[in-house]
Structure 1
Amino acid sequence: MSESQDTLKSRLEELKCHFTWGLQEKDFEIKELEERLKIQLVYLNKNLKGRLYNLLAYINHLKNNYTEAIANLQKAEDILQESNVSETDMKYLLTFSNYAWVYYCLNNSERSKLFIDKINTIHTQSKELKDLVQSETYGEEGWALLKCCGQYLGKAKDCFEKALKGNPDDPEWNTEMATVVYRLEGFRGRECTDLKCLSFQLLERAVKLDPKNSVIKVLLALKLQELKKHEDAMKHIKGALELTPDLPYMLRYVAKFYRRAGKFEEAIKLLKKAVNITPTSGFLHYQLGLCYRQMLIHKKKTGRGNYRGPHMQEIRDLTEKAIFNFEMVLEVKRTCLHVHFDLADMYSRSDQHKKAEETYKKATELTTIPEYEQQQAHLHYGTFLEKWKKSENEAVEQYKEGLRIPEQNKHREECETSLRRIANHRVERNPRDASGLALLGFISKENQDKSNAMKWYEKALKSDPSNDEYLSVLFDLKLK
């Protein structure tokens, strides 16, 4: 690479755009994200479409489709031009930055430098608006992170905090900040008391600053519902439905509100309406699946002992509908771990144990989920193998895989508890049980307790002197 190319690359790395925000292909499923963004293009307002085209251009880059990337950037640029935005306005920074990177990837240095020059001109003419420029830049980054995947929620929150420092009363960044904190408070099963309190305050502020935003109204209603303020919550639900009665993104949250209130028929009616508009939405099918499953559980409770006739037919119908919708989610969003669990649970409830096992196995093979979820997948699969399949040895292998992942959390603890329970049970039955002794050694080894690990493996070898696995582990432990 020539010196001028080195200089160009370093100038590009200073730009604030999708190419420098750490959006990594391994963290999300490209096809699902692209499909979701294209659906949103139909319903988002014109100004937001420019952002979507920019993110789509970056996805095109990940697919090495630079012709389409340029086409999407041109669409983003057209939206600004149609709105009579001057080419030296800061709103062009994102599009011009992405242009510069795309042309660099195409080895067109001249075009890349041209856009860098345009960016420099914008910065020069916006010196007095430095805070607003930073607010815009951080807001754009947060928005992109929020759209890509749940793993980026923490980073998105940091970006919106910075955006609001430069422009505290911006309605959009307040709305996005409230949204990301609301999603973070229960993300991946976490219970964050501090965030719950904060999200309510942020949602209230966002609604005041942007009263015509129907989605943020519904999120506030969901929060009020959690706080048992049902009358206030319903006011916001009605207000949102009056504002945008046909917006799928809003309808799905209203349906969630009704489902939580036990109004399953109302929820299903809204979800079906939204599905007719956006048939490939994984979120909508997931909400439908949850509705049918909750109705099923309710029917079984109220019809206890009634195993014949119309009641049982209704239970079968609800089961099939729940399974169908959970399957639909995984067709469009294969990396949703909790949907794998929900689908496997429904298979188990309907005695389709082979399908349940296949679903749990697929969950353990997901490559784009974080270690926290990998541990959870091994734990759930192990529990299924132990309780439903009655295969303790297979379950042990899954619990061991969960324990091998070093991240400390409740799922790792539960894997260890299950292994220790099985090991102790084996040793209680037979103090010389080599597999039980070795399992205790494995637990100590994975917890970095070398001394105890060596002790247990030595005992296991006394009971099973020809076991190469125990010998190899013990040799490694002594070597360390």
Structure 2
Amino acid sequence: CSQNTDDQQVKDSLVQLRCHFTWDLQIEDSEMPDLENRVLDQIEFLDSKHAKVGIHNLLAYVKHLKGQNEDALESLKEAEDLIQREYPDQTDLRSLVTWGNFAWVYYHIGRLAQVQTYLNKVEKTCQKFGNLFRYRVECPEMDCAEGWALLKCGGKNYERAKACFEKALEKDPENPEFSSGYAITAYRLDGFKAKIKGHMEFSLHPLRQAVRLNPEDQYVKVLLALKLQDEGQEAEGEKYIEEALANMSSQTYVFRYAAKFYRRRGHLDKALQLLQSALKATPTSAFLHHQIGICYRGQMIQINMATNSQPRGQDREKADRIIRSAISHFEFAVDIKPTFEIAYVDLARMYIEAGNYRKAEDTFQKVLTMNPVVREIMQEVHFYYGQFQEFQKKSEVNALIHYLKAITIGDPSVAKDKSINSLRKLAFKRLQRNASDLESLSILGFAYKLKGNMEEAVEYYERALRLAADSANSLGRGF
């Protein structure tokens, strides 16, 4: 009985620790391989003193989730060594998360003596800093460590990461590490919501601040460049890109974002060259494979524009080769990251270009059942699936269903506008064939109402009502 009591007391103590085991990190099983790849890539190629300790701790947590507790302990030892080297005057405070993780891993493998050793270390540090809690330190460094962990674990955790960095910055607004974490989180959240109309972008100021406080951090610099490009300040953005490319630090990551910058400028060959260089270093990056696929799609569009969408001879061969390349990169991206919704849409659209409608259908079906963090992504899924139904499968009924679904999800966005326009065009097409098609008249009324054109909306609704009344009258006379 005393064994159970001891175990319960230990568990009660562990729950108080601030570490990866108590932060409720939202990670789906299917995301684990991609998360582990990203963590390993960052350990090797990201030159950031801020992030390194946290990355080793996160790797330990991932190893534990995979049942590899001995490997988890190895990663925690590496984190400890790093703390000794990077923070010699702050080792106690900086070690709290690592000690917490050690205690949890030892608990899971049943080594309670070691659990107690690490609990004692945490308790001693809490006393040293005059903390109110026995095993829990409230300080900005801990908020920041939690913020980094949440940030690394994907979109479901970003809002909570932002709150952690904000809390840390309230205590120490000029801290380079807190500033950098907040800026990266803000950039990611802006990216998530970029397609939503009326979203107030908020990451430009935090990114400028982070670059000022971290002049040597090339990663933050390239994110600032991309945000400046978004805001129409491309010349200033390019200055930061060139600075970052001239520096050897975090090169693999600099290449990724510099490539995105040049792709959006229309310099596809330069973008591809940078992406292929980055891919040599990190061959399992879902992000890189997706970006390479997008560049190939851009090249295909260039060929179509130059040949009026009728490529022949060498142009046709080149287009087919590019389509095959794009498909293979998009396939890799969704294999390694099965929750990569937009990559599925891009892959399905490429299958359509290749004339492989069966694979396009299968791919759309996979993504149609997903539940993304940003609901507005599903607008794009339903819009492109509607297009596929209308133009390739020749099913107007299915097309209407999916345009309507796109319109009823989430906030106003580009994809929602496209769906409303496609819905309107399709309804007009059907009315040309049958002027008394009640459904098409109602749909047009609905589409104009969504656009805010109330006069047209009322006109189509009234026509639909008159038709319905006439048809009811004629039915009545028939009996």
TM range (shorter): 0.7 to 0.9
Cα 1:316–1:380 change in 2 (3 A) is closer
What TM-score comes out, normalization by structure 2 length? 0.78
Given the alignment, which residue of 138, 141, 146 partners 1:136?
A: 141
Of residues 14, 17, 24, the one that matches 1:22 is 24
Q: What is the alpha-carbon distance in structure 2 between the residues aligned to residue 410 and residue 46 of structure 1?
A: 38
2:256 match? 252
Contact 1:26/1:368, CA 8 A, preserved across alignment: no
Determine the C-alpha separation between the residues in 1 that align with 2:48 and 2:185.
22
Within the alignment, does 1:170 sit opposite 2:175 as a pair? yes
Alignment map for 1:347-362 (pairs within 5 Å): 347-362=351-366
Q: 1:37 and 2:42 equivalent?
A: no
Once the two structures are superposed, the pairs formed by residues 211-230 of structure 1 within 5 Å of their partners are: 211-230=215-234
2:288 matched to 1:284? yes
For 2:83, the aligned partner's letter is L
Paired position in structure 2 for 1:329: 333
Aligned equivalents of 1:246 and 1:8: distance in 2? 41
Structure 1 residues without counterparts, runs of 5 or longer: 437-480
Measured against aligned partners, the alpha-carbon deviations of 1:201-251 in whole angstroms (never above 9, x if no partner) come to 111111111111111111111122223323322211111111227711111
Q: Deviation digits for residues 412-463 of structure 1, max 9, x if unmatched? A: 98999899999xx8999788x9xx9xxxxxxxxxxxxxxxxxxxxxxxxxxx
- 1:310 matched to 2:293? The reply is no
Gap change, CA 1:89 and 1:195, over 3 Å in 2 = farther
Q: Distance in 1 between matches of 2:404 and 2:95?
A: 52
Match of 2:224, as an amino acid? Answer: L
CA contact (8 A) 1:400 1:419 kept: yes
Q: Distance in 2 between matches of 1:415 and 1:223?
A: 25
Structure 2 counterpart SS, 1:25: coil
Amino acid at match of 1:5: D
- Alpha-carbon separation, structure 2, partners of 1:230 and 1:376: 27
The CA deviation at 1:365 is 4.1
Aligned to 1:183: 188
Match of 2:88 in 1: 85
1:121 paired residue number: 124
Determine the C-alpha separation between the residues in 1 that align with 2:197 and 2:18: 31
Partner of 1:388: 392
Equivalent residue number for residue 447 of structure 2:
none
* 1:286 shift after superposition: 1.4
| Aligned residue number for residue 7 of structure 2 | 5
> 1:459 — aligned with what?
none
CA 1:86–1:251 in 2, change beyond 3 Å: closer, same or farther? same
Aligned to 1:111: 114
User: How far off is 1:79 after superposition?
Assistant: 2.1
**Aligned mates of 2:131, 2:351 — CA distance in 1:** 62
* Residues paired across the two proteins, number: 430
- Aligned pairs for 1:306-455 (under 5 A) are 307-366=311-370, 377=381, 380-381=384-385, 383-391=387-395, 409=411
| Cα distance in 2 between the residues matched to 1:61 and 1:179 | 27
Distance 2:205 2:379 in 1: 34
Structure 1 residues 416, 269: closer, same or farther in 2, change over 3 A? Answer: closer
Pick aligned residue for 1:235 from 226, 239, 254: 239
What are the ranges of 5 or more consecutive residues in structure 2 without an aligned counterpart?
A: 443-479
CA gap of 1:232–1:166, structure 2 versus 1, over 3 A, is same
Whether the aligned pair in 2 keeps the contact of 1:326 and 1:339 (CA below 8 Å) is yes
Measured after TM superposition, the shift of residue 340 of structure 1 is 0.5
TM-score by length of 1: 0.78
1:198-209 aligned at under 5 Å gives the runs: 198-209=202-213
CA offset digits 1:113-132 (Å, max 9, x no partner): 221111111122223999x9
